[in-house]
Amino acid sequence: MKKTFTANLNGNVFHIEEDAYDQLQRYLANIRAKFSGSSEAEEIMADIEARIAELFTERLQGRQAVSLADVDHVKQVMGQPEDYVDGETADERSAGGGSGQTYGSTRRHKRLFRDTDDKKIAGVLSGLGHYFGIDPLWLRIIALIFLLAGWGSPALIYIVLWVLVPEASTAAEKLEMQGEPVTVDNIKRMFDEGTERVKSGGQRMAQEAKDLGRQWGPAARNAGQQASDVLGKLAGVIVLLLAFSLLISVFTGAIGGTVGLWHATWSNADISLLDLGGQVFNSSGHALWFAIGALSLVIIPIMALFLAGFRLLLGTPAPRWLGITLTVLWLIALVPTVWAAVSLGTDYRRENSIRTEAALQQPADGTIYLDMLPPADSSSYGWSFSYDRGRMDVDLEGIHLDNGTTSAAWADVDVEASSDSLFHLLVVRSAHGATAKDARTRAGNVGYDYRQEGDALYLSPVVQFPSKDKLRCQEVRFILQVPNGRSVFLRDGSRRMLDDIANTTNTYDGDMVGHRWTMTPEGLTKGGVPSPARDTTAVPAPPAQQTAPAEAPATQVKRQARIAAKQLREEAVASMEGASTYMPNLIELLSAGLRP
């Protein structure tokens, strides 16, 4: 009976007899002492222990403990430290052993591994070359031919071998791959060759990089300068194209806007673009200064872009005084533009409206026929009306100034449900102003016209107001309220005045014309048979002035009295609102001070 110990060799546990343990410990200690000055000592010892573990595993066939004979076998295979580290003897042994790759010779104990030190993809063909003693280059050429010719499945075979064949990662595995004996001497040599290969490769790369820098340094600087010049010229071309495009856009917009404004006043020889500008701004001077300032604010930056583009393209810098002059001119142009814009914005700050109910006779058959009332002075304004196969063609474009009155054709009409069993015609006049009182005053100055003949209701699209009120979004909106179960028939003349009338079928305004629409709890519903084509002789003669229609018959006296009383109440409320502006309290003073 012998005493045993437990030994761990590179992660492999063995039971070893006491005398064998002492002998193996002295052997490994001698090897470690010989490699104590090497930086790869730990890696070399790990590979040696791994090889010793393999030899023990091969020897232990049915036995549990490592004996002294097994240790002697390891020493015989691996060699003694004194045999391969002493100067010239080691060098001769290394040279005689044939370091490196020697193709065409046969080595004992070869194993198939993937050689990742000589790989193109995964080192499979290089490992096969070591195993069969063939230069891997020929194997790569053969595999490429098979792949291009479509013979077999070389790619699939390569992938399978990649997965199945292990990589030669340790020095012992690399020696087994090359068929060389796994001795301490060869393991040391493998590490020395690897270190030298890495060192020489790094020195070679450093020298190549240094030579490349000496050779291409000046050329790279010249190429960089040339590339910078090319990019600068390209940027100059882009800037010039941008400036030219902006200049064309400005002139196109100015011409188009001028033509549009001229078209808005073309039919009145007494109004010019400057007069129209005086209606938009507080005066014609404001309009002129705003136009000059706004145009300058756009043109001056475009000129600066042209100068910058020429500098980038041709390398000709602009004089310094020119840049300063353009900057000063731009700042000067900013003053009248901001002044005119702020003045105009102040006059649009508040909005107010007046809602009144106009006298309306109830239709005998429960249907009102809605149509347009032609303006009284359409011939002098250039407005025209024509009829083509029962369809009315209307031309009411333009704003007209005549004898201190501004006229424009933009009144619209809407249809809503009535709150009772009667038809109602509501008129909503709205405008803008610097204060709510100014806006209400302007809204009260807006004039409108309508006329009723039997069951036909004629609404005028013309909106009139004093020219001194300026153009401050003065609008007139007619609201025809239809009781439940009653109808409205939209004649062709009303087409231009309809403004997004809600209905149950989401029918567009233009498609609602020529049909009868009945008010239901859900809204206007298309129903009934369209009335006959309009008789053009039935259009009433335009009134001499845009005033309310003549008084209704005796049956409407009570209704008119109620409307008059309602208007008196509204005027009283307006008067109280006007008076309140002269008795401001603390809150009003604070709010007035905080308003912009």
CB 515 within 8 A of CB 526: yes
d(CA 561, CA 426): 16
The region of weakest confidence among 184-188, 291-295, 297-301, 402-406 is 184-188
Among 180, 154, 165, 156, CA closest to 115: 165
Cα separation, 260 vs 397, in Å, equals 11
Amino acid, single-letter form, for residue 375: P
- Note the pLDDT of residue 566: 56
- pLDDT score at 414: 94
The pair phi, psi for residue 589, each rounded to 5°, is -65, -45
Pick the residue with more confidence: 155 or 547?
A: 155
pLDDT higher than 80, residue 254 = no
- For the ranges 23-32, 66-75, 176-185, 473-482, the lowest mean pLDDT is seen at 176-185
Nearest C-alpha neighbor of 444 from the set 355, 358, 359: 355
Q: Enter the pTM of the model.
A: 0.47
Higher pLDDT, 208 or 318: 318
**Which stretch of 63-77, 283-297, 539-553 has the lowest confidence by average pLDDT?**
539-553
User: CA 109, 110, 116, 120: dihedral to nearest 10 degrees?
Assistant: 170
| pLDDT of the residue at 362 | 92
Please compute the mean of the pLDDT values over residues 126-155 and round it to a whole number: 84
The predicted pLDDT at position 383 comes to 56
Q: Which of 142-146, 171-175, 235-239, 242-246 has the lowest mean pLDDT?
A: 171-175
Highest mean pLDDT among 12-21, 312-321, 450-459: 450-459
Angle at 509 between CA 506 and CA 510, to 5 degrees: 125
CA distance 90 to 448: 120
Under DSSP, the state recorded for 395 is E
- What is residue 415's predicted lDDT score, i.e. its pLDDT? 94
Reported as a single tens digit per residue, the pLDDT across 3-33 is: 888 888 877 888 888 888 888 888 888 777 7
Total residues found in the chain within this entry: 596
Between CA 58 and CA 52 the distance in angstroms is 10
State yes or no: pLDDT of 204 exceeds 90. Answer: no
Give the pLDDT of residue 588: 40
For the ranges 304-308, 441-445, 583-587, the lowest mean pLDDT is seen at 583-587
Own/partner long-range contacts of 384-391 (Cβ < 8 Å, ≥24 apart): 387/536, 390/492, 390/533, 390/534, 391/492
Check the CA dihedral 513-514-515-519 and report its sign: positive
The b/e string for 260-295 (b: 16+ C-beta within 10 A; e otherwise) is: ebeebbebbeebebebbbbbebeebebbbbbbebbe
- Note the pLDDT of residue 557: 46
- Quick one: pLDDT at residue 183? 64
Both tokens assigned to 209: 């990089």
Burial class of 501 by CB neighbour count within 10 A (0 to 12, 13 to 18, 19+): buried
Distance CA 358, CA 563 (A): 8
Spatial CA neighbour of 46 closest among 71, 10, 21, 74: 10
Give the best-scoring range by mean pLDDT among 250-254, 503-507, 577-581. Answer: 503-507
- The pLDDT of residue 423: 94
Q: What's the mean per-residue pLDDT of the chain?
A: 74
pLDDT 10s digits, 268-278: 555 666 677 77
d(CA 261, CA 399): 9
pLDDT digits 0-9 by tens, 455-495: 999 999 889 899 888 888 899 999 999 999 999 999 988 88
Q: Can you give the pLDDT at residue 206?
A: 67
Report how far residue 293's alpha carbon sits from residue 329's, in angstroms, rounded to the nearest whole number: 10
Least confident of 211-220, 331-340, 389-398, 464-473: 389-398
Q: Reduce the DSSP state of residue 396 to 3 states and report it.
A: coil
Q: Looking at residue 349, what DSSP letter applies?
A: S
